[in-house]
Amino acid sequence: MSRGEGSLGFIGLGAMGSAMCRSLMRAGRAILGYDIDAGRLAASVDDGVSAAGSGEEIVSQADVVLTSLRSSAIWAEVAETVLLPNAREGQLFIDLGTVAAPETRRLAAAIAEKGAALVDAPVSGGPHGSETGTLRIFVGGNEAPVARAMPILQVLGEEGRVVHCGQSGAGQVVKGCNQLAMGIADAAYMEALAFGAREGIDPRAIAQAVGGGGGWRGHFSGLAERIAEGQGDTCCIKYPEYPYFLAEADEAGTPMPITRAIAEFASKVPSAYRDNMDRPTISFWRELMTREVVDPRRATAEHSGGTEPWQRFSSRARRAVVLAHNEAMGMGMPLVDTEHVLMGLVSLGEGAATEVLEGLGVALDRLAADLRDHLVHGSAAQEPNRELAFTPQAQRVLHVAYAESKRLEHDHVGTEHLLIGLVHEGRGAANRLLRKYGVDLTRVRAGVCRLHEGA
């Protein structure tokens, strides 16, 4: 590609970047593109993009360089190591990703010292909006570079939704307004749904009673339906971006009480899931459904006075069996099975697990003793202890339990560790191993159903 006036380079050819390239090419623009992922680059070449061998080649060849990268940290690294060292006078950089506003301002100033300019233009609308040229684009930067960027951005954005919000960083701040409005609202709706679902109420019933129609009630219904279909882990609250917005709020002295409360709640768990941008995140819904907050006023409450075992559960143990029912419902299964019971017990810890099982005459003491004996006299690398005759799958259950006790720095293998091992290997191993020791969770399942029905 020649270095003619307005030649375009594009770094970052993921779902958003590749779709934006296609929109620009349909508008008659030639694109020199690069992605660190060879597969993504090849796919864009198939679309008509000319391949560059590196980001440095993009900067050296293009007059206007667009970036679409998935995190603030990645963009800052590319800006510092690729864009800034190779920037030249008169060059324009347009960042289409979501970045912490303080980072945008810092690097915009550094780029300006090279005689180039940075426009922050984060987008909203997903791959569909990128493909159809109907994105919302929040633009920040000085008047002259923004005016130069606008013809490009207007190809990508919906008419009337490409908005110059202010000086450098203002586009990122307004993108924060967009993300927080969506993410905090969904977090609030999920919390409202969990308030009912943790009492065993079907999310569809909640949606029918509370949701429906247009506006917020319609959105609430849609979220409830996804949760009822077992998709709660995919419901996103934009959590990976909260640090960007809180960094800007700290710099500006802006109080963000709701955002900070959600961030604090979410910070207590590892980011074991992926969001719609393939970034590590948490399952906010799972945390709402499984995390236990012990009310000190109820911590010493006596058991209820019913005559059936499930009526004598403490409130904490009752919560465990309701969670088992919710787990089954969330997986779209009509019956509560062994794995659901185990997951409900694990979610509340050893105290509730022991109470529920012993209250129904189910003791895992012999299994725990055999586990300790097996781990003392044998190892995963040796033949199975012939006296115990554990299957390889059952042995894995036992070793997961042992590893969990060590991870928690407990001096013995207890009920909770065993339950974690059983859940880890799935329902088949759970049933086989428990039955070997004369443990049948049928009564526990019956107790769950009766409790849920209000017996």
Name the amino acid, one letter, at 131: E
DSSP 8-state code for residue 385? P
Measured CA to CA, the distance from residue 115 to residue 197 in angstroms comes to: 58
Say if CB 67 and CB 75 are below 8 A apart.
yes
DSSP assigned state of 147:
H
Torsion angle, alpha carbons of 340, 341, 346, 350, to 10: 180
Q: Could you tell me which residues are beta bridge partners of residue 139? A: 164
CA 415 to chain centre: 30
Got the DSSP string for 66-118? EE--SSHHHHHHHIIIIIHHH--TT-EEEE-S---HHHHHHHHHHHHTTT-EE
Angle between helices 170-197 and 257-266 (to 10 degrees): 60
The answer to whether the CB of 454 falls within 8 A of the CB of 366 is no
Residue 268 annotated as catalytic: no
What are the residues facing 10 on neighbouring strands? 33, 66
- Amino acid residing at 394: A
For tokens 């970034």, the residue is: 279
Q: Which of 114, 175, 406, 436 is catalytic?
A: 175
Q: How far apart are CA 136 and CA 162, in angstroms?
A: 6
CA nearest neighbour of 97 among 172, 44, 32, 167 = 172
Q: What is the largest CA-CA distance in the chain?
A: 86
Q: Which residues are catalytic?
A: 175
